[in-house]
């Protein structure tokens, strides 16, 4: 019996409260999906994701758990509104996935540091010190607002899920094409894949986590460039983020 079957041995979530637009999101995206119980835990999400990830290797899809909230619904609706050929949209978006993720991250981090060029004291505080007391993240975050759906996106390259699920391009969140480039780079470097997302959060699963400070610090700098809130509203300093990344199989990003 699969984990999905066991999960639905419990009473599934009610449809009460879902707006018509929310229920149409998987239809707009255009791939196979399963609505999940609203009280699904982070541990259950991880077990389900890893089971589906293995299945997808032979079935030709990449899974992603999407929490459909108001913000994500608006992003999807805006992207697919009045598009006559959804397949053409998917193909054109996949063509935008470049190998420039590393360059993009370097530019973003450099821009962040240039803002602090004359404030050496704050820059030193931003780096801070390592904190060996921080435990690695080994499970996804627990239930969020919205409705969880398992999407089986018909792509074999995990970064191309953003050609199906519009996500970025607002405030400091990278645009979809840059998101794909970054996720491609991190997949090639750390075998990290986008696994769980909502309107303003992204959780990645890392199959090959960093194991020491020498490799964790450059990654923490990249993640600060990618999502400065990971530090400024998260660990507090870049080196504390590096400490958290050592051994972590889950990377968490939130754009305020």
Model-level pTM?
Answer: 0.90
What's the rounded Cα separation, in Å, for the pair 204 and 222? Answer: 14
pLDDT in tens, 48-68: 999 999 999 999 999 999 999
Indicate the domain borders of the chain. 3-254
Maximum Cα–Cα distance across the chain: 60
CB–CB of 225/108 below 8 Å? yes
193 phi/psi in degrees, rounded to 5: -130, 145
Place of tokens 């899809």: 61
pLDDT score, position 13: 43
Contacts of 25 (CB under 8 A, 6+ apart): 66, 68, 72, 73, 76, 77, 149
Q: Is 218 exposed, middle or buried (0-12, 13-18, 19+ CB in 10 A)?
A: middle
pLDDT in tens, 187-228: 999 999 999 999 999 999 999 999 999 999 999 999 999 999
pLDDT in tens, 126-135: 999 999 999 9
pLDDT classification of 18: cutoffs 50, 70, 90: low
Q: Give the CA count within 13 Å in the CB-facing half-sphere of 30.
A: 19
């Amino acid at each position: 019996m699969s984990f999905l079957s066991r999960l639905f041995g419990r009473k599934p979530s009610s449809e009460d409260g879902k707006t018509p637009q929310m229920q149409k999101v998987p239809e707009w995206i255009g791939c196979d999906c399963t609505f999940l119980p609203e009280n699904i835990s982070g541990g259950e999400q991880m077990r389900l994701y890893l089971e589906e990830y293995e299945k997808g290797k032979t079935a030709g899809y990449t899974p992603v758990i999407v929490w459909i909230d108001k913000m994500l619904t608006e992003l999807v609706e805006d992207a697919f509104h009045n598009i006559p050929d959804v397949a053409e949209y998917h193909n054109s978006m996949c063509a935008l996935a470049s190998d420039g993720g590393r360059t993009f991250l370097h530019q973003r981090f450099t821009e962040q540091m240039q803002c602090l060029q004359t404030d050496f004291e704050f820059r030193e505080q931003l780096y801070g010190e390592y904190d060996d007391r921080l435990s690695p993240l080994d499970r996804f975050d627990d239930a969020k607002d919205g409705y969880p759906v398992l999407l089986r996106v018909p792509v074999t390259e995990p970064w191309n899920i953003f050609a199906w699920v519009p996500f970025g391009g607002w405030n400091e969140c990278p645009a979809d094409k840059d998101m794909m480039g970054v996720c491609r780079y991190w997949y090639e470097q750390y075998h990290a894949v986008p696994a769980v997302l909502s309107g303003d959060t992204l959780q990645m699963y890392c199959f090959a986590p960093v194991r020491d400070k020498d490799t964790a610090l450059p990654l923490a700098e990249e993640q600060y460039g990618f999502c400065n809130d990971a530090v400024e509203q998260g660990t507090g300093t870049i080196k504390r983020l590096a400490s958290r990344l050592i051994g972590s199989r889950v990377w968490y990003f939130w754009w305020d």
